[in-house]
Amino acid sequence: MPSRRRFLQTLSAAALTLPVMPLSVMAGNTEQPYQGPVLRVALMGLGGYATLVARGLESCQRARLAGLISGTPEKIRSWSEKYGIAGKNCYNYENFDQIRDNKDIDAVYVITPNALHHEQVLRIAKAGKHVICEKPMALNAREGQEMIEACRRAKVKLLVGYRMHFEANTLEIVRMRQAGELGKIRFFQGLSGFRIGDPGQWRLSKQLAGGGALMDIGIYAINGSRYMVGEDPVWVAAQETKTDPQKFKAGVDETIQFQLGFPGGAVASCLSTYSMNNLDRFFLNGDKGFAELQPATGYGPIKGRTNKGELALPHVMHQARQMEEMAGIILENKKPLIPVDGEEGLKDLKIIDAIYQAVQSGKKVSLKL
């Protein structure tokens, strides 16, 4: 049974073989090289996903890898050699506050276990650097609010690693919905899951992950329901199923089904699991048409179809597109079609809190986002 780490490694390897269209071609910029401002990014946490972000940065025009933060000296050594990162731009988890004096670094991308995000983001903000934080942004809404306030006080931006907010097929469906081509939205289904392996990994630790499948993979269905429907939910109901209490201990969810209600009348039915494969599908249904993505949130290519036919927009490595667009947000105050700021992350945390509350109470929980 493959572990989550092996799952990431497999996806990373697969990503290396995918045809990736250069960002310059996607932007129509085939003449003169980019000469504008560049976001200099330090990666915090040099695991499997950071490897993909680093590769994405290699093809960016407006962002580049400029620093490394890790608790493993060997990773610092190998990464700095591979990417040509100077020793003065390398830190560990004890001394990274010193980045406040480093003019070579503009932002830090936090790619560490969920439980570490809160403290690390507070420290980065205090050091005066912009923050990109992997999702979920924190363990709960209280922590998320504190992170937003800390970045606001420090006058730095806080973004969340919602890579799907920049994916072409996803954005086409959002455009269709906004243009009224699907009619009044009635229903959304989000299926997010895989069979997790190694029982000793941090994602199965309540202390490090803050939960189980919902915090890791289920957040895609939570967030996807909101940008697909185009509204924030006003209530949630949820039910948990646990078949292996040895592997999925108290506070670590194996499978949760949850339902969301939206102010316009649409409903969502979603599933988050660590015990089933082949679950990566979004389906949106309206009075005039439908849209489907399958796979919906993997590393790509994303495949979709609507009542008008297949969606076949060009694949761009998600991490490259994300970092290119986030550089524009930080450096030029650009506004993405779907927000990726701390407030967006906070809304998902409020829904996660409510889902766990609904599981415990067995009752529908009202939401005010």
The pLDDT value given to residue 31? 58
Q: Where exactly are the structural domains of the chain?
A: 4-163, 167-313+342-366
**Is position 220 annotated as part of the catalytic site?**
yes
β-partners of residue 86 are: none
Which residues make Cβ contacts (< 8 Å) with residue 143, sequence separation at least 6? Answer: 117, 118, 349
Token pair for 286: 């309206």
pLDDT, tens digit, for every residue of 166-206?
Answer: 999 999 999 999 999 999 999 999 999 999 999 999 999 99
Residue 39 pLDDT exceeds 80: yes
Q: What percent of the chain has pLDDT above 70? A: 92
Strands 267-273 and 275-286: unpaired
Token pair for 97: 């506050």
The pLDDT value given to residue 33? 84
* Segment 92-112 mean pLDDT: 98
The pLDDT value given to residue 123? 98
How many other CB atoms are there within 10 angstroms of residue 33's CB atom?
Answer: 7
Say which CATH superfamily domain 167-313+342-366 falls into.
Dihydrodipicolinate Reductase; domain 2 (3.30.360.10)
Marked catalytic residue, from 49, 91, 135, 299: 135
Marked catalytic residue, from 91, 220, 227, 299: 220
* Segment 97-104 mean pLDDT: 98
Token pair for 303: 């495949």
Which residues make Cβ contacts (< 8 Å) with residue 231, sequence separation at least 6? Answer: 262, 263, 264, 266
The CB-based long-range contact list for 13-19 (8 Å cut-off, 24+ gap) reads 14/299, 15/52, 15/55, 15/299, 15/300, 15/317, 16/55, 18/299, 18/300, 18/301, 18/315, 18/317, 19/315
pLDDT, tens digit, for every residue of 328-342?
Answer: 999 999 999 999 999
Asked if 342 contacts 160 with a C-beta cutoff of 8 angstroms, the reply is yes
pLDDT, tens digit, for every residue of 103-142?
Answer: 999 999 999 999 999 999 999 999 999 999 999 999 999 9
* Segment 96-100 mean pLDDT: 98
Residue 19 pLDDT exceeds 70: no
**Domain 4-163 CATH class label:** alpha beta
pLDDT, tens digit, for every residue of 216-266?
Answer: 999 999 999 999 999 999 999 999 999 999 999 999 999 999 999 999 999
Helix, strand, coil shares of the chain, percent, nearest 5, are 40, 20, 35
The pLDDT value given to residue 162? 98
How many other CB atoms are there within 10 angstroms of residue 103's CB atom?
Answer: 7
Residue 77 pLDDT exceeds 80: yes
For every residue of 79-116, DSSP letters joined together read HHHHHT--GGGEE-TTTGGGGGG-TT--EEEE-S-HHH
- Predicted TM-score (pTM) of the model is 0.92
Q: Where are the beta strands (DSSP E) in the chain?
A: 39-44, 63-69, 90-91, 107-110, 130-133, 158-160, 185-195, 235-241, 255-261, 267-273, 275-286, 290-293, 304-306, 309-311, 365-366
Residue found by looking up tokens 């939960």 in the block:
211
- What is the band of 312 on the pLDDT scale with cuts at 50, 70, 90? confident
In this structure, the dihedral spanned by the alpha carbons of residues 162, 174, 226 and 266, taken in order and rounded to 10 degrees, is: -160
Residue 24 pLDDT exceeds 60: no
Token pair for 214: 């919902």
pLDDT, tens digit, for every residue of 265-282?
Answer: 999 999 999 999 999 999
257 CA to centre of own chain: 20
The pLDDT value given to residue 23? 59
* Segment 285-290 mean pLDDT: 98
